[in-house]
Every structure is written in structure tokens, then in C-alpha cells.
A and B are shown apart, each in its own frame.
Chain A
């Protein structure tokens, strides 16, 4: 299961991770090796086996729809890298028209 540079690039973009050229090379090699090892799972026939995404059998958990206190806005915003007038502030999202 060899992974090429383009795949590493694609996955890094999906992951929102900037990689240095050294990291790209390292991850290409390491991920290829790890995925190679994972192909061991193909030894098993899993047709007809249901997937387990959670071990404890549980259906929807409901609660009464009552109002409870929320976190203090000022305390939460106080931990943000940047804020303005009660909002989180981020760099420009849209290009100028």
C-alpha cells in the first residue's frame, strides 16, 4: 500500500495541516508502512459481520427540555486568541470585491 506525494498532499489539505517538505517525505514513508501492516485485516472474511461503532448498546438519550445556565460569555471569549464586541474574530474569509 504505497502512498504517493499527491495523496499525502491531498490528505494534509483535508486535515488542514501545512507540512514541510521533510514532513511530507516522512509521512509518505511512515503511513505507507503502517497501512501495509494494516492490510493484515484483509486476511479476515467480514462479510455479514455488522460494524461496531459503539460497544455499549444505547439508543437515543433524551432529557427534559429545561433551561440550565451556560458558560459565561466573557470567560469563554477571554480564552480566545482574538475577539471583538462579543464575537470570536478571525482573519478575512472573503476576498475583496
Chain B
């Protein structure tokens, strides 16, 4: 039975829970059991709330599911469905570490807006997933508590920074997960683990209670096995929030209703700048085949140009660290988290931060502080903000006569642990196709589109600002005509 339950999508779980064929405690127990068996090798979770999750499940069963009349319409959207949450989103009373020693053991006194919305929707929070420290990285190797492994090949990385969420969903340790994406941190691990990962438009989902990395870029989004589950989860978390002044005050459509298997007339642009040296041949092949499939379904695929694509990486690695250096100033050993012992205040600050932060976080704080410091601000930070305008204009121009942009999510499939971790520039290159989309604030999804040597390949679809529906519809259409999403990693666990 356990094997069956953890194979179901959230949409299928909901149907069975509504009909009373299974109960929420059974569902949660099945997932907890799979976590017990498989997570010791994967290390997708930093914290599993064994008792809390079962308690929540019993409550939802008694107070919500048992009282409904077997009809789905009476139920909150995620009643009894387990969700894993990336450990940079605040969960009241449950440890939230950002995979950093500086926050080890911290229990937030409040829930992030997305967590509040999950609870209100009846979801059961299973635990908190691993990430690169403060979401800075592309492999989850920068976690202060040890890396996560890719369920498709335990010697390889799951991508990052939401590598724990991606691995958990791919391995069937959770049907749904939340990730956060600043330069690709939802989409790239989704690609490397063979699942669906969606970064909505900047401002679509509240950032209140998401521990800040780069505030002009950070965005929370769903990580799931199917596009339908993705739409259901987005419905729950999206919407205006007065506590995040950058959250968009726009009505949210029912994203699940956008899912029609239909691509006729869809105008898809394919940026020629993506198909250059460094792109793995199998990835190139799979992405071009995806374009062919859309064409065969009646879409109009044309080559486009994003002339400043090549400048996105240096632009991002100035803007994001600059914002991070300011956001991470709050870790000073005073209000929460770790404090080093020292006789005076300055030394206490500097030593707390030396002992609490890992190397990548220090590197980015240094880089950002340098880019913002007197004498360099104009040459670096301001220059980057101007190039950001040029990159955004490239996309604006492309969307004048296209509805969607199709490109690879990541230039390669999952790479071996340890291969890039000592070379920051090599690691940064993982995000060359996701970063431009982040800089422009656009919605981008990664969906499975093939395999190379048994490792998943991701296809990225990008839409206009606040047009998540077109992105989801195209992703759904692709999924309905392919079987990649059905493949499961070769794990035991029953």
C-alpha cells in the first residue's frame, strides 16, 4: 500500500482522500516511512517533523475530511496532502536554518505567508529540505549540514539551491514541495532531478517569511512531479500579501483551469544564443526535439535573438551578491542564531560571522560589499543595473510577437559531487539559461524532456510577466504528449 500511495500525484491523492478510500494519517505515514528508508542516503531533508506531521494529519482527517460528504468541492485544496518546504521559509516553532550554522536550531516565532497558506489549504508539512547555504549555489554542496544526492545517481548532485526539495519530490519522499528561485534555484534542480519546477513572475507569490537572499530576484514556487500538481500548488500560494509590498496587487486566475492540451497557433521563440559551445549535445538534441513536438501540434516555432544573454551572468553575480551583502548584515549574533564569544562588540560580530557562514556565503558577501563600496559602486553595481535594463528589453522585444520562449534549463545534466565546488566561476555557469529570466522577473518553468545516460534533461518555457497560464498550458500540453514525467529514479524503498 505504501508504495502505491507514494506513487500518486497530489491530484490523485485528493480524489482518494475525498472518497474516503485512504486517510490523511495513512498518506503521511506512507511518506514518513519512505523518508525513513531512503533519506539516510539522499539527505533531502534537514528536519523531518515526524510527530507534528502525523498530528496535523489526524486533525485534518477528523476536522475536515471525515466531515466532508465525499465530495471534492467541500474540501480545501490540499486537505491531507503532504508538502516539503525548503528550509529558508519560516515555519513557526519548527527549525529554520537556511542550511547555515549561523541559524542552527533557530525556531521562527511566525510562519511565512506561503506556509500559512499551505496550512489553511489543509496541507501537512512533512519537514524542511536541504539547500545551498542561504540559497547560494547550484548543487546543494554548499549546505552547512552536508550535501543532498541526486536520486537518479547517488554520486551526482541534485542541482541547487533547492536540491533537497527537488530530490525529495523525484524520490517520492513528498508529492509536493516548495522551492525558492533567485537565479535558477527552482528550475535548475528540477531539471537535474527530472521533475517540474516553476518560478512564477516576480511578485506573484509573497516573500514574507522567505529568508532574504536577493530581494529584487527571490521568488517562491512549486516543485512537483506533474504540471497539474504544479498548478494546484500555485493556486494555493499565489496572491497579494500586504506584508510584502513587492507582491503584485493583481487578481490570480485559477491556474488549474489553464491546463488544456492545446498548442495550436502558439508563437514560440527559440533564442539562438542558447545553442552555443558548452551546451551538452544530448541537451541540445532533446530541447530541439521538444520544439519539433510543439510544431507538430500546431505551434509556430521561430528562431529569435536575445543579444545580451551573454551578459546576464556577470550582471547577476554583481546584483545578487550586492543585495545579499546587505540582507545578510542582520546575522550579527544579537537577535537570533549563533553567537561567538568575544570581549567587545566588533569582534563578536566579525567572529560570529566567520564561524557561522560557509565559504560561498562569505565570498558573495565580500563580492557584494566590494561592488557597493565607495569608488566601485558606479563601475560595478550601477553598471550591472543598467545592463539588467538591456536584458529586460531583449525579452520585451521577443514577446512583442511571441507568446513563449523555449530554451534549455541547464547546459548539462547532473554533474558529479565535488566536480565544480572548488571553482566558483564553473559553478556559476550552471545558471546561464535561468539567470536572464530571473533578471527580467519573468515566469519560467522547467519540465522533463529527455534523458542522457539515464540522467534527466530539463526544458525551460518562459512567458510574459504575469502570464503563468500560457506557460502552464504549454507545459501541460508537452507533458500530455510525452512520457518522461512517468520515469522514476532507480531507488528501492517500496
Contacts and interface: CB of A to CB of B under 8 A. Distances in A.
Interface of A: 3, 7-8, 10-12, 14-20, 23, 27, 30-31, 33-35, 37-38, 40-44, 46, 49-56, 58, 61, 63, 71-72, 75-76, 79-82, 88, 90-93
Given A16-B332, A51-B382, A34 B387 contact: no
B248 A38 contact: no
Q: Is the interface of B mostly helix, strand, loop or mixed?
A: helix
Contacts of B439: 55
B248 A51 contact: no
Interface stretch (B148-156, B273-281, B361-369): B361-369
Interface centre among A11, A12, A19, by most B CB within 10 Å? A11
B370 A31 contact: yes
Interface centre among B109, B357, B370, by most A CB within 10 Å? B370
Given A41-B315, A51-B386, A52-B385, A17 B350 contact: yes
B339 A81 contact: yes
Given A37-B314, A41-B383, A56 B335 contact: no
Contacts of B425: 33-34, 37
B345 A44 contact: no
A17 B242 contact: no
Contacts of A11: 366, 369-370, 373
A64 to B, nearest CB: 10
Contact of B311 (A23, A40, A50, A61): A40
A79 B387 contact: no
| 6 closest Cβ pairs, A-B complex | A55-B441, A51-B385, A81-B339, A46-B386, A18-B354, A61-B245
Contacts of B43: none
B389 interface: yes
A30 to B, nearest CB: 6
A72 B109 contact: yes
A46 B106 contact: no
Interface string B223-241: 0000000000000000000
A92 B353 contact: no
A49 B386 contact: yes
Interface in B68-108: 106-108
B47 interface: no
A20 B382 CA distance: 31
B245 A34 contact: no
B390 A46 contact: yes
Interface string B313-352: 0110110000001000100111111110011111111110
Chain B interface residue bracket vs A: 35 or more
Given A46-B390, A55-B440, A88-B334, A16 B343 contact: no
21 contacts: A11-B366, A16-B329, A16-B349, A17-B350, A17-B353, A17-B354, A17-B365, A20-B354, A40-B314, A41-B384, A41-B387, A44-B311, A44-B390, A46-B390, A49-B386, A53-B216, A56-B441, A61-B249, A63-B242, A91-B342, A93-B344
B424 interface: yes
Contact of B335 (A31, A75, A80, A91): A80
B202 interface: yes
Given A27-B363, A44-B308, A49-B387, 17 more contacts: A14-B369, A15-B366, A17-B365, A23-B359, A27-B362, A37-B314, A40-B314, A42-B383, A44-B387, A55-B392, A55-B441, A58-B203, A61-B245, A79-B109, A81-B333, A91-B343, A93-B345
Nearest to B249: A61
Nearest to B110: A71
Contact of A81 (B109, B310, B337, B365): B337
B380 interface: yes
B106 A79 contact: yes
A3 B380 CA distance: 14
A55 B382 contact: no
Contacts of B317: 34, 38
B349 to A, nearest CB: 4
Nearest to A8: B366
Contact of B386 (A7, A12, A50): A50
B451 to A, nearest CB: 32
Contact of B390 (A7, A49, A53, A54): A49
Interface in B102-135: 106-110
Contacts of B245: 58, 61
B351 A18 contact: yes
A35 B353 CA distance: 24
Contact of A51 (B311, B334, B335, B389): B389
B367 A53 contact: no
Contacts of B388: 51-52
Interface in B285-333: 308, 310-311, 314-315, 317-318, 325, 329, 332-333
B367 A31 contact: yes
Nearest to A71: B109
A79 B380 CA distance: 38
Contacts of B367: 31, 34
Contact of A19 (B329, B345, B354): B354
A25 B329 CA distance: 23
